[in-house]
Amino acid sequence: MPPVAVPEEPSKKKLRVAIIGQSTFAAEVFKLLQRDGHEVVGVFTVLDKGNREDPLATIAAQNGKPVFKYKTWRVKGQVIPGILEEYKSVNADINVLPFCTQFIPMEVILHPKYQSICYHPSILPRHRGASSINWTLIEGDTTCGLTIFWADDGLDTGPILLQRSFPCTIDDTVDSLYNKYLYPEGIKALAESVNMVANGVAPRIKQTEEGATYDPALFKPETHQIDWSKGGLALHNFIRGLDSSPGATTFIKPQNKDGVDKTSDANIEIKFFGSSLWEAEYETEGDKLFITGLNKPAVVHADGLLITANDGIKLNIQRLKVNGKMINAQNFYKGSENKVSLDLTAEEKQFIEKARDVWKAILRIEIENDTDFFASGAGSMDVVRLVEEIKDISELELQNEDIYMNTTFEDFYNAAILKQRGGSGSKEVIYDGVEMEINKMKIKFPTQLFINGEFVNSDGGKTTAIVNPTDESVICKVQAATVSDVDRAVKAAEKAFGEGEWSKISARERGQLLFKLADLMEQHKEELATIESIDSGAVYTLALKTHVGMSIETWRYFAGWCDKITGSTIPISHARPNKNLTLTKREPIGVCGLITPWNYPLMMLSWKMAACLAAGNTVVMKPAAVCPLTALKFAELCVLAGIPPGVVNIVTGSGALAGQALADHPRIRKLGFTGSTEIGQTIMKSCAASNLKKVSLELGGKSPLIIFEDCDLDKAVKNGMASVFFNKGENCIAAGRLFVEEKIHDEFVRRVVEETKKMSIGDPLNRGTAHGPQNHKAHMDKLISYVETGVKEGAKLVYGGKRLDRPGYFFQPTIFTDVTDNMVIAKEESFGPIMIISKFSSNNLDEVIRRANNTEYGLASGVFTKDVSRALRVAERVEAGTVFVNTYNKTDVAAPFGGFKQSGFGKDLGQEALNEYLKTKCITIEY
């Protein structure tokens, strides 16, 4: 029998309507009938659940309509006379039964002039009975629908007034069908049906028995039991058919990862939710779960519980209720997880109180943090109401499963806030790490790899000792990543990019998450600076201002860019007689790999990763092996900020192993690297050979600083020293060679030596220290060798050049003069506090520029002069990505940074940095 479809028309006649039913569904029908001008003369619904009134009763009372609440309409099969008389007193023209769970006597059904119409969530005559929508899924129907029929004394057998049909896919659930079709379309269909009755056009089409089914109600526990002998498709349909409530059920023996406990006679009840057919060709890895009736053990893995039916078809389960406790299926063998401890903003605290009011309105009780939604009487329709009302107060799109998985109020608001921030996890940040009392504070940081939102050990079990350069003591041992660890991290990043929450949130929401991350870094800045000091030797005050301070600025800058990345429209020739529209989209590249150096551990991470995430990518990052600790602390802050799992992954370890694995990985689409030119060349080859991945390189430097005689000499001395000694010389843009005009050369050298002698060298945590230890021993040894080379070549060592006689990697700031262009120290980067000074004559500007450019490096440069024209000529002709005029080291998060020639290509910072992590797609439309 084809569905009846009648055009919707407003009612010409107004009817007196009695509504018999319950739930939000019935309340919405009430609103539409009122809208259409019908008079609701009475509402008949169920008794209150504790202090909680049914939504239909609530809205009726708010509109001043009579409300009648009955436990039952009959006793021993006979209508209760008092109830019948109360019903008759409203003098209704028609009964409307939306979502009615009670048995209504025929004396009531037939009493009104137009009798009664009833809503049913199936295409009658198929799936008659109380569990029709469940059976639609259990039977694997490809079409679902609803029927409005004239009630009779049969079981959903009355004549049909109106029907609607909708597609039903293999992935649909009870909730998805209700939310997409049966709930919104059912409400409209009932209102339309009343109008059809009022207009005299409502048909009464007798139901055929052809294709009719009478399906049993799924109320009793035995109806929920899974029959594991059935095929995989039937199992999937059965589980999704019971997905909303009460869940498909089985019993297993107590067991752990090592196997079944054969000594126990106990049974564990498990209910299954969130089934999907498994289409992946590869075998998943995980822990075995033995289920009686299955030939092959199920597998607890990273994405759920994988079940192989006895016919070979596989299905994946997302959620389990184990002895009454709902958990994510992948956590079956994990201990009970602790609640997250969130740093709440003022707005988030306001949201909690608004959400508390919503819960109170639904449950009609005072709401404490441990109030359980379902234990307090809520049902499946209350879940729908909660989802909708939360959307109204916060524009937050929750799913029904968010409520099923977080049944107490505290769990609920934590999950909701994490989702607002873009996250989906609810775990405390748990890791193996180190706690220390140092620098007048307590610090704590992880020592494990950070993959898919969790701190985990390396597959290889190896560790790297992290040494404090101040006293050469071992701070801790950090996990060393293997190739398989890198692969695991890339897969997590790929999933987060393609399927995870990161791929679903808007650009503005992404920006809000990055702002939250920056706020957390601000809150932890003293701790981060302390970790940076003990790990890399950075002077604490400098770490606070630059290493950490500029990192925070970088995250805030790029957080602001998230929703400002736009394409363009381009006029092209039309394909006459049609027209064309061409537009471009700027899209994220995908999974990006980042490899950062040891001189500014946190800042280099931030310079690259902030732009990468702002563009919408996910990342696998390898910090320098010798100082990874702030990167790992940063990962902890990512969890607290609500960054979804898999978006940020940190793999610590050696460059030769973990770094090379990133360069070689075929699923990484972009690699950003800062380090030496030699390693950059190797990486570029690997990127080309592996999958031609995009690459940006910020490499070595030998930056020239030209100081003319007309400069402000005080300023030139101060900035000249900073250009070399800033951050112990471990600075990629450090001035590798100073060209000082001969007329002021000797005075410049004298002043520099004098001021250098005043520099306080010592513990970087001491607030008065200006110069801390070099980063690690191998680098200090290299600096000693570099100085020896300069002396052998004939350069004049006028100050320093030695390791200090004390524990730690302390190297005395060093000054060379009489350096000629052919010397090794004039051509090669020291990356340390070694000042190289050469004379020049201003009579030949072209010559000094030629000498400045006589290097394969081109990262930065500087010029000091009061002659603006001369400064601009130098700036124009010098071959460097950055030119400083009458200043040095003045970088800013809004200014692009990157080099020329063998100093690499690509930019960090500024709007241009986004280009490194975006691709342009061109779309042409003909119309």
Which entry of 120, 236, 547, 771 is annotated as an active-site residue? 120
**How far is 589 from 611, CA to CA, in rounded Å?**
12
Which are the contacts of 887, defined by CB distance < 8 A and separation ≥ 6?
719, 862
- The DSSP result for 365-387, as a single string, is S---TT-BTTTTT--HHHHHHHH
Cis preceding linkage at 2, omega within 30: no
**Token pair belonging to 491:** 């897969």
Q: Which is it for strands 569-570 and 474-479: parallel, antiparallel or unpaired?
A: unpaired
Task: Verify cis geometry, omega within 30 degrees of 0, for the bond prior to 246.
Answer: yes
Q: Which of 732, 745, 771, 779 does the annotation list as catalytic?
A: 732
Task: Specify whether 698 is catalytic.
Answer: yes
Query: Is residue 120 annotated as part of the catalytic site, yes or no?
Result: yes
Burial class (CB in 10 A: 0-12, 13-18, 19+), 799: middle
3-class SS letters over 654-717: CHHHHHHHHHHCCCCCEEEEECCHHHHHHHHHHHHHHHCCEEEEECCCCEEEEECCCCCHHHHH
* Number of Cβ atoms within 10 Å of the Cβ of 406: 19
Q: Which residues contact 724 (CB under 8 A, 6 or more apart)?
A: 734, 735, 738, 813, 833, 834, 835
CA terminus-to-terminus distance, the chain = 41
Which of 868, 862, 913 lies closest to 890, judged by CA? 862
Q: Which two tokens stand for residue 182?
A: 């049966």
User: At 561, phi and psi to the nearest 5?
Assistant: -85, -15
- What secondary structure letter does DSSP report for 180? I
3-class secondary structure for 800-859? CCCECCCCCCCECCEEEECCCCCCHHHHCCCCCCEEEEEEECCCCHHHHHHHHHCCCEEC
State how beta strands 591-595 and 248-252 pair. unpaired
Can you tell me the distance from the alpha carbon of 59 to that of 31, in angstroms, rounded to the nearest whole number?
Answer: 9
- Taking the C-alpha atoms of residue 105 and residue 76, their distance in angstroms, rounded to an integer, is 12
DSSP state of 761: B
Helix or strand or coil: residue 599? coil
Give one word for 483, left, alpha or beta, with left for phi > 0 and alpha for psi -120 to 50. Answer: alpha
- 908: closest CA among 507, 610, 467? 610
Question: 3-state DSSP call for residue 612?
Answer: helix
Q: Catalytic pick from 389, 401, 636, 698?
A: 698
Structure-token pair, residue 43: 């509402």
Q: Which two tokens stand for residue 136?
A: 């639609």
Alpha carbon separation from 427 to 417, 521, 651 (Å, rounded): 13, 20, 21
* Gap between the Cα atoms of 678 and 895, Å rounded: 27
Q: Are 480 and 466 in contact (CB under 8 A)?
A: no
Are the C-beta atoms of residues 667 and 490 closer than 8 Å to each other? yes
SS3 362: helix
Residue 74 Cα distances to 77, 109, 322, angstroms: 6, 13, 39
Catalytic residue annotation: 120, 698, 732
